[in-house]
Structure 1
Amino acid sequence: MRLLLLCCALAAARAEPSVWTWRCESGSCVRRSAAGVTDGMQFGTCKLTCGELSAVWPRPTGPAAFGSETVPFLIDSVQFQLVAPDPVKPMLQTATEIFLDSLRALQPSGLGGRRSGCRPDGACEPAVAEQAVKVTVAVESADTALTLETGEDSQLVVSYTAGSEVSVVINATTFFGARHGLETLSQLIEYDDDNACLQASADRTDAPVYPIRALTIDTARSFIPLSALRRTIDAMAMNKLNTLHWHVTDTHSFPIEVSSEPRLVQYGAYSPQQVYTAREVAELVRYGRQRGVRLLPELDAPAHVGYGWQWGEDAGLGRLAVCVGEEPWQSYCVEPPCGQMNIINDNMYTVLEKIYKDFNTLFQPDIFHMGGDEININCWKTSPEIADYVSDHGGDPTDDSEYMELWAQYQLRAADIWRNVSGRDTPLLLWTSDLTSQEASGASSVLPPSQYIIQVWTTGSDQQIGDLLQQGYPLVISNYDAWYFDCGFSAWVGAGHNWCAPYKSWQTVYDNSPRAIARSFEPSGADYASLVRGGSAVLWSEQSDAQTLDSRLWPRGAALAERLWAEPDTDSAAALTRLVHHRERMVQRGIGAELMQPEYCHMNDGICVL
């Protein structure tokens, strides 16, 4: 199989020839003096044509071959033919516009609008012969929604015969695979000093290993504006991550509008300006779907509930949440402010149903996250009405197991409310907790493995993972010792470093394999790896907001993306030069990704390694 590289003609010739050239030596682009070198090439061309995987990120999972030549072309010469069922065509058309916008973002500034070979003074050298490019995108399925069963596969073939147009064919089962194919095509294009280049031949078949490839973003501790969330979705699309797990509420704030119960956001938002309106959320869901990213909402409960719920007594509904803002906070929760649902108050469930109805309408989710972590039993034990409830029902209010049983009853009731509201058996996600630990030991039937996916946030070696797999639970891996992006900074309560230090490097992120974690618990003859549905890197926002979002997420999120897309057998060292180049590409497209190495290292592959 062969892949064809294309070059886009730049709008202006270099004012002065470079004294440097690049050669592909043992799969690396090496900078050499141009004097006397006859087989050198420009930097962008070298990146496209040197190395087994070209400049593609994440690496393909199927057969892939990339050619050694490039072809010049102009963006305006690209023509599209879209072959798809009618419901998909508008999304495909928008995807082609996004593709062209990405190419324009890569074009060096100040060069747009002038023909190749023409200097700023208007004098022209003989122009490079730009080729016409015809891109055919064919999609089989009429589906426009992303689910756990959606095929994201695609085949990309680029071919060129001298004197004819460049042919690009992308075949995909669904729109989402076709979108991924266009992303790969955009990565086969580089701007050199004289030409923008497209690889002249390529043949690549690709599909992801895991159906859930996620980032978990917290917008409750610190409000993150929609512009930053859209930019995050753009970066996720560049890396073929497909799930933005939105931890939208917590004890700190309730910033999302629930139209049927406006008091939640009135009492819960940090300010009227720091609110996600229903219209804005619906638009963000559409924005994500167009870019191959589902928005997975999480209403964390019954803990992590506080501000936004404190109006119940004034409204005659009793306390909807208990321990809200209670001090000393260390006795009632893991971080200030405290708060948990009043799970014996029927009115609380009425409010919960309103939230679920709005979430179902806004997100139309194929999976739903119910939270479920970090319950503090002492909060409920020290709430008189809950302790009295236990006594009135014949229980011992000093016995923790009584409150575990109330928690289990809450989970059953809340799950039934969601299913009644949504009208379907949506898979439900829960964080690992004392409840899932109890479930893994077979102590209860509250969480049937056929209905729940468990998101693991313990360490990757925690035996609870093996217990859950033994019970048959599907898992999403988010082990904090590798995939928590808020770790390694100063403590925000107390002194020293925060609780999950040290910082998780991109190498740590890349080398963390969900498959390997599952297999480490496998008894002989078992297939635990098949229960892993994917993974998510997590950025809690106690110390992160829009000012730091990009640098905390990227390029570590790209390392996560290749791990979840391909589950490569190779380690981070083998991915270094491609990721350094991909980081540059992300920056050119407007993502504030953190610098990995000095630019010298980018221009001299293989030098900055031990």
Structure 2
Amino acid sequence: MALHSFSILLLPLFFHFILTSAASRSSDIAGGVRIWPLPALVTHGGQRRLCVANTKDFRLNTDGSNFTDASGILKEGFLRLLDVVRVGHVVDANLSRLDSSALLLGIHIIVSSPSEELQYGVDESYRLSVPAPAPAPGKPAYAYLQARTVYGALHGLQTFSQLCSFNFESRAIEVRSVPWNIIDQPRFSYRGLLIDTSRHYQPLPVIKKVIDSMAYAKLNVLHWHIVDTQSFPLEIPSFPNLWLGAYSKQERYTTADAEEIVRYAQRRGVSVLAEVDIPGHALSWGVGYPALWPSKDCKQPLDVSNEFTFKVIDGILSDFSKIFKYRFVHLGGDEVDTTCWRSTPHIRNWVRKKGMNESDAHKYFVLRAQNIALSHGYELVNWEETFNDFGSELSRKTVVHNWLGIGVAPKVVAAGLRCIVSNQDSWYLDHIDPSWEKFYLNEPLKNITDSKQQKLVIGGEVCMWGESVDASNIEQTIWPRAAAAAERLWTPYDNLAKDTNQVFARLAHFRCLLNQRGIEAAPVSGLGRSAPWGPGSCFVQ
């Protein structure tokens, strides 16, 4: 782990931390620390505690920071922190009776970089310390949070929020087991969650709640599978008839809606990866533009022989580039059945005149779409079939998105391409049967031993395909199993539990925390989105 320059305020803490962390880490991993995902390095004290100043008086101090917070992103994150640590309770403790040294007055945050740019590979590391009460009456204490970027600071605030709890006797917010010393950074730069708004429309407030919950678990990429065979809900100004393929006029997203989702996510440290799935899964495109269909009787894949097809793709990606600023765009490419091309006379003749076969035509489509995306400044993500079929001919700027099984990732990185892991047997949330334990134990680097090749696995993603979820059940289908994958993607490999019994209580605690924050996470025990089995405490279900 690279160590950056330290504030003078944190130097004594750091040297104490280095000396004590190795001895305490094993007990923390065994369950003494109820932070999810587990930080890279953490120490804490015993029975001592600090009371948080009444939240209206709890202060944000940014003295010494290079970050001016001109847009208010850090202040907003701090205000959200105050909201979630209250967990809906009325905090009305009489703190004037306390010795001032037992009072936590605020958080001193130092951010090194002045930039608010959120992009793949942004530094998300942070250091957090919460002191113990002074041995004698003195000044009220501050927690200290240091980060290279504001996004690391937002992660640190999320961690701090999990150290806080409401004391029902004193009516105060407390931080127990002080002092806390944490140094943290993610294992993988890409930690994604896919949502699918084609199979069922998801209203904007639902998408925003998903983004909130992602931030709680330190997932940082919302993969928005916007369109598919069933519906095309997004407004595309270059081709305004495309969203005639939506289920209804009420189940659509305007470009302003998409911009709002990107803005909302960015201010929580979450990037939005937009997907346009081509050439298959595109029947809905032809509702507005029938010329995109091979024929009126055979409607997908998109017509490879028609220049208008690529003009539309160019228009979509041009409009995307004005909204979705993430480095990558997802071009789909899975489950392409070229039967329609074979059975449609004008396409069959075009393929023959080009001296191609169906496979060649498919490759032509994939590579041409890639070149269009590259022309708009994007790097590329494609589902793994494109690699399986045309691996050596894909752009070197391609990230291969694994989903069919665990065997493809080693082949992808051996070929020198990057990879995202989402193997369906373990990380598909629409598969209800896989337990949280399977999600937790799924290792993105399985069978990849070369260190250079390991670096080509940029991360992983859990996928919430939309056939069987809508606004009524998406949250309990995502959580808590997505949290199990989130720890796999954030926490250093050596800190991960080999026996999932060691983490059940901590995951149950996080699930209850999500419930307290208004996220409808299902019980940990049982299969995906199972109901509670009967009366009982949240912490044991």
Q: TM-score, normalised by structure 2?
A: 0.86
Cα deviation per residue 1:419-470 (whole Å; 9 max; x = unaligned)?
A: 22x3x3x32100011x311334xxx42x13x30110100122x3x3332222
- For 2:317, the equivalent position in structure 1 comes to 356
Q: Specify the alignment match of 1:428 in structure 2.
A: 380
Among residues 497, 501, 526, which one is paired with 1:573 in the alignment? 501
- Which 5+ residue runs of structure 2 have no aligned equivalent? 1-11, 15-25, 526-531
Mapped to 2, the partners of 1:393 and 1:368 lie a distance apart of 29
Measured in 2, the distance between the counterparts of 1:140 and 1:100 equals 23
Report whether the alignment pairs 1:79 with 2:59. yes
C-alpha contact 2:190 2:220 (8 A) present in aligned 1: yes
Q: State the Cα distance separating 1:88 from its structure 2 match.
A: 5.8
Tell whether the 8 Å contact from 1:307 to 1:324 is kept in structure 2 after alignment: no
Aligned length: 497
Cα deviation digits, residues 561-582 of structure 1 (max 9, x gap): 1010014441322111111011
Instruction: Report the counterpart of residue 216 of structure 1 in structure 2.
Output: 194
1:275 to 252, 260, 263: 252
**Equivalent residue for 1:389?**
350
Partner letter of residue 409 of structure 1?
Y
| Alignment RMSD (CA, Å) | 2.5
Q: Output one character per residue of 1:201-226: Cα deviation in whole Å (capped at 9) or x when no partner.
A: 11100000001000111110110111
Conserved? CA contact 2:379–2:397, under 8 Å: yes
**Aligned counterparts of 1:213 and 1:68: Cα–Cα separation in 2:** 35
Q: 1:476 to 1:249 in 2, by over 3 A?
A: same
Q: 1:41 aligns to what?
A: none
Residue 404 of structure 2 is matched in structure 1 by: 458
The equivalent residue for 1:155 is 127
**Counterpart Cα distance in 2 of 1:295 and 1:169:** 30
Q: Give the alignment of 1:597-608 within 5 angstroms.
A: 597=525, 600=536
Q: Take 1:198 and 1:526, find their aligned partners in 2: how far apart are those partners?
A: 40
TM-fit CA distance, 1:487: 1.4
Aligned to 1:227: 205
Aligned partners of 1:89 and 1:257: how far apart in 2?
28
Q: Give the distance between the partners of 2:454 and 2:163, measured in 1 at CA.
A: 33
Match in the other structure for 1:103: 85
Identity %: 29
How far apart, in 2, do the equivalents of 1:383 and 1:64 lie? 67
Deviations 1:542-600 (CA, angstroms, capped at 9, x unpaired):
11111110110001111111010014441322111111011110000000000125775
Q: What are the residue-to-residue correspondences of 1:512-523 with 2, within 5 Å?
A: 512-515=442-445, 517-519=446-448, 522=449
> Which residue of the partner structure matches residue 36 of structure 2?
57
Does the aligned pair in 1 maintain the 2:104–2:143 contact within 8 Å? Answer: no
Structure 1 contact 322–339 (Cα < 8 Å) conserved? yes
| Residue in structure 2 matched with residue 292 of structure 1 by the alignment | 269
**Secondary structure at 1:58's aligned position in 2?**
coil
The CA deviation string for residues 266-305 of structure 1, in whole angstroms up to 9 with x for no partner, is x211111101111111011010011111010000101110
* Residues 160 and 569 of structure 1, relative CA distance in 2, 3 Å threshold: closer
Could you report, residue by residue, the CA deviation over 1:496-531 in whole angstroms, capped at 9, with x for unpaired residues? Answer: xxxxxxx1111110010112x242xx5xx6653222
Taking a change above 3 Å as real, the CA distance of residues 455 and 347 of structure 1, as seen in their structure-2 partners, is same
Matches within 5 A, 1:311-460: 311-313=288-290, 319-322=291-294, 326=298, 339-395=300-356, 402-420=357-375, 422=376, 424=377, 426-433=378-385, 435-440=386-391, 444-445=392-393, 447-448=394-395, 450-460=396-406
Correspondence for 2:225: 247
Q: How far apart, CA to CA, are the structure 1 residues paired with 2:447 and 2:316?
A: 35
Q: Which moved more, 1:267-276 or 1:191-200?
A: 191-200
Map 1:184-195 → 2, pairs under 5 A: 184-195=159-170
State how far apart, in whole Å, the 2-side matches of 1:217 and 1:165 are: 45
C-alpha distance 487-409 of structure 1, shift in aligned 2 (>3 A): same
- Residue 340 of structure 1 aligns with an amino acid whose one-letter code is P
Q: Report the Cα distance in structure 2 between the residues aligned to 1:581 and 1:545, rounded to whole angstroms.
A: 26
- Aligned match of 1:181 in 156, 166, 174? 156
8 Å contact 1:466–1:518 — kept in the other structure?
A: yes
Alpha carbons of 1:156 and 1:246: their partners in 2 closer, same or farther (altered >3 Å)?
same
Relative to structure 1, the CA distance from residue 375 to residue 236 in structure 2 (aligned partners, 3 Å threshold; closer, same or farther) is same
Is 1:528 matched with 2:453? yes
Look up the equivalent residue of 2:276 and give its one-letter code.
Answer: L
* Higher helix residue share: 2
- Looking at structure 2, the residues matched to 136 and 324 of structure 1 have their Cα atoms a distance apart, in angstroms, of 64
Instruction: Encode CA deviations 1:461-497: one digit per residue, 9 max, x unaligned.
Output: x3x3332222112110000110011114xxxxxxxxx
Distance 1:231 1:386, change over 3 A: same
Q: Aligned equivalents of 2:297 and 2:521: distance in 1?
A: 36
Counterpart contact for 1:431–1:456, Cα < 8 Å: yes
The alpha carbon displacement at 1:128 in A equals 5.2
Q: What is the identity, as a one-letter code, of the residue corresponding to 2:371?
A: D
CA distance in 2, matches of 1:89, 1:284: 17
1 CA distance for matches of 2:294 and 2:66? 53
Output the amino acid matched with 2:115: D
Query: Is 1:134 equivalent to 2:134 in the alignment?
Result: no
Q: Distance in 1 between matches of 2:471 and 2:490?
A: 27
- In the TM superposition, residue 144 of structure 1 has moved relative to its aligned partner by 1.7
Counterparts of 2:29 and 2:360 in 1: how far apart (Å)? 61
Higher Cα Rg: structure 1 or 2? 1
SS of aligned partner of 1:361: helix
- The 4+ residue runs of structure 1 with deviation greater than 4 A are 49-53, 126-130, 323-326, 597-604
Once the two structures are TM-superposed, the CA of residue 362 in structure 1 deviates from its matched residue by 1.1
Task: Note the C-alpha offset of 1:352.
Answer: 1.2
Q: Distance in 2 between matches of 1:93 and 1:60?
A: 24
Post-superposition offset of 1:132: 4.4
Letter in 1 for 2:164: I
Distance in 1 (CA, whole Å) between partners of 2:259 and 2:506 is 36
